[in-house]
Amino acid sequence: METDTIAAISTPVGEGAISIVRLSGDEAVSIAQKCFKGKNLEKQASHTIHYGKMIDPETDEIIEEVMVTVMRAPKTFTREDVVEINCHGGLVSVNRVLELVLSEGARLAEPGEFTKRAFLNGRIDLSQAEAVMDLIRAKTDRAMRIALKQMDGRLSSLIQQLRQELIETVAHVEVNIDYPEYDDVEEMTHKMLVERSKKVMGKIEELLQTAKQGKILREGIGTAIIGRPNVGKSSLLNALAQENKAIVTDIPGTTRDVIEEYVNVRGVPLRLIDTAGIRETEDIVEKIGVERSRQALKEADLILLVLNYGDAFTHEDELLFEAAKGLDKIIIINKTDLPQKLDLNRVNQVAEGAPIINTAIIKEQGINELEQAIANLYFEGDIESTDMTYVSNARHIQLLKSAKRALEDALSGIEAGMPIDMVQIDITRTWEILGEIIGDTVQESLIDQLFSQFCLGK
């Protein structure tokens, strides 16, 4: 277990009202005291804040005017002594304070090391630690609430219940084998294994059913806006983002690159990609944009295919529908304020049953209907149940799938008449796989890899 004291800047880089330098470890308070002029921090009660100045002990130079918070173990985030030094929010001042505490014996923290210590010291399990990063990266209120529930241990509690069910099952099997009281003990044991395995599998399947929605809320839906030039793709992006991110003109081919923007649509985070219009062109720069558009189309989770109500259905439109064939898509017929030239019957024929939304984006018409169609497509209009445990982490999803396969192997073994001790191996393996979600059976190398993805100071 690490015993040295770590320090890092815990607030974003840049100018602001305050910046915070955080220390954690056995010597956090004594190191801060060495360069603090004010009350003796080592004699102050836990969870108190104190005004003073940071002083360079060698030159007696005043470095910063600060407020210092002292928090004693174990009632801290890391379950170690923690000190937070609140400085003025400038790059120079906060870095000088950090350099000062490092020169007095602290070590610069690695990315995610504060949260890693909280995990290693038993304050949180691995799924809760990962939820910390999910909370930081949340794009919508609903994504934030899911992360908060996971931080609060909702997923952890459910996984622990499933593991307890499995370990009790294994224990019952051992007792039945070692101390048989009935002639039909093998049949009774098989029956119990089937009942309990199916019960756990049902819970795992319920969690996996939330995986698609959970992952969407966590990572967003990669959404490509496609259409012929000048049908209103950039205007659509601006309408959804509620600000002017893309250049909007009447000149075809204005968008020369792929523009990305995260937007919140009815609680669903969309990673919107506004693409150059896909068409034949001699402009070299525009050709590059068109090629990137085709690549964005391949990688997108959702296609917003925009047509112009005031233009005839063209061969280029046919190619767009062909490129989007079989993908989740919503058809947007824009500029419905213009005289109709678009063949709506042909649109219905090639739409593959996808929702068709009429809009006049410049006049702010049809945006609400489009947003509702997006929510309906992925969540059937009901984004989140308040008591539901969502699984959103790709690592958790993969482990749940592995656990389900192990239970399926156990049930197949029972049906095939395999010896009980062989079936137990698969049940025990399920228990171990579920343990990886909360960190009970995870390897140290994986722990290091996970926490290395955190920001410095967290």
CATH number at residue 262: 3.40.50.300
Distance, CA of 311 to CA of 25 (rounded, Å): 68
Q: What pTM was estimated for this model as a whole?
A: 0.61
Tell me if residue 220 falls in helix, strand or coil: coil
For residues 101 and 46, membership in a common domain is answered with yes
Compute CA 24 distance to the chain's CA centroid, rounded to the nearest angstrom: 26
For residues 195 and 136, membership in a common domain is answered with yes
Distance, CA of 354 to CA of 236 (rounded, Å): 18
For residues 87 and 135, membership in a common domain is answered with no
Q: Which residue has 């790059």 as its token pair? A: 91
Query: Cα dihedral angle (105, 110, 116, 117), rounded to 10 degrees?
Result: 0
Residues 6+ apart with CB under 8 A from 8: 21, 22, 98, 108, 109, 113, 114, 456, 457
For residues 283 and 230, membership in a common domain is answered with yes
Domain span holding position 120: 6-125
For residues 311 and 346, membership in a common domain is answered with yes
For residues 111 and 13, membership in a common domain is answered with yes
Which of the listed residues 125, 157, 174 is the one where a domain comes to its end?
125
Dihedral sign for Cα atoms in the order 145, 148, 154, 156: positive
The total of structural domains in the chain comes to: 3
Q: Are 106 and 31 in contact (CB under 8 A)?
A: yes
For residues 206 and 231, membership in a common domain is answered with no
Distance, CA of 361 to CA of 108 (rounded, Å): 51
The CATH number of the domain holding residue 119 is 3.30.1360.120
Q: How far is CA 240 from CA 197, 223, 235, 268, 307, in A?
A: 46, 12, 9, 12, 17
pLDDT of the chain, 458 residues: tens digit per residue: 457 999 999 988 777 889 999 999 999 999 999 999 999 999 999 999 999 999 999 899 999 999 999 999 999 999 999 999 999 988 888 999 999 999 999 999 988 899 889 888 988 888 888 877 777 767 666 677 777 777 788 888 899 999 999 888 887 777 666 555 554 556 667 788 888 889 999 999 988 887 777 777 777 788 888 888 888 887 888 888 775 443 333 334 333 333 456 787 777 788 876 554 444 445 544 454 455 556 667 778 888 999 999 999 988 888 888 888 888 899 999 999 999 999 999 999 999 889 999 999 888 899 889 888 888 887 764 445 444 567 777 788 899 999 999 999 999 988 888 887 788 889 889 999 999 988 886 666 656 666 676 666 66
For residues 146 and 275, membership in a common domain is answered with no
Q: Are 228 and 275 in contact (CB under 8 A)?
A: no
